[in-house]
Homo-oligomer: A and B are copies of this chain.
Amino acid sequence: MVNYSIMLTSRLPAQPKTRDAERSRAVILSAALEEFALFGLSGARIDRIAERSNLNKRLIYYYFADKDQLFQAVLEAAYEKIRESEKKLNLQALQPSAAIRKLVEFTWTYYLENPEFLTLLNSANLHKARHIEESFNARALNSPLIELLGEILEKGRVSGEFRGGIDPVQLYVSIAALSYFYLSNNSTLSVIFGRDLMTPKSQSERLSHMCELILGYVLRN
């Protein structure tokens, strides 16, 4: 059997055990994020999360009812984080085509820099989004970007720059899909195509391709 303990590279430095509830909660959450990202929901181990966070296993149960709810909390935090980032995009200030390009670039960069997000979503989907559904009432997980994207598409259409009839949801899903699949399945794809898809060159080629693909479609001829 593989000993995954050696993967605990990011074990947090032993901190002075101040009795700081907020802090402990956050530390657990971030340790759990790593663990779930690396091993999925079933593969994650409460023990390792405790090790990672340099906290007692029992404390995890103090803050989170069980593994499932911990996963859910992690998932919510991940969503909140990406929503935070999206907010800062300020797409409405840009020209339609520049806005679309920026959205593609943002998506790519965000996934690239936050690969846990991808694995997390995969896990969530394996479990039929059970955890997401439960979170939905409590927190606004849905992207405000959809409306914004709709406005951008409309603005482009009116100006004659964009083709009409584009469903913002479909486009949004497609933009996510192009980055997501490439990065999430990168290791499989690299083996299958016999080339490293994560070299800087490959990465920039992918980004170009995606921009061309999306803009080639959106732009009226």
Contact = CB atoms under 8 A, between A and B. Distances in A.
A193 B216 CA distance: 26
A40 interface: yes
A146 B185 contact: no
Main secondary structure of the interface of A (DSSP, over half): helix
A133 B187 CA distance: 9
A124 B123 CA distance: 12
A41 to B, nearest CB: 7
A141 B188 CA distance: 10
Contacts of A133: 191
A179 to B, nearest CB: 8
Interface stretch (A15-23, A87-95, A148-156, A167-175): A167-175
Number of copies: 4
A80 to B, nearest CB: 13
A126 B43 CA distance: 10
A192 B40 contact: no
A85 to B, nearest CB: 16
A217 B212 contact: yes
Given A43-B42, A142-B194, A194-B142, A189 B173 contact: yes
A187 B129 contact: yes
A83 to B, nearest CB: 11
A39 B126 contact: yes
A191 B187 CA distance: 29
25 contacts: A40-B43, A43-B126, A119-B126, A122-B125, A122-B184, A125-B186, A125-B187, A128-B187, A129-B187, A129-B190, A129-B191, A132-B187, A132-B188, A136-B192, A141-B192, A142-B193, A169-B195, A170-B205, A174-B209, A174-B213, A177-B180, A177-B182, A180-B185, A212-B217, A216-B216
Contacts of A173: 181-182, 189
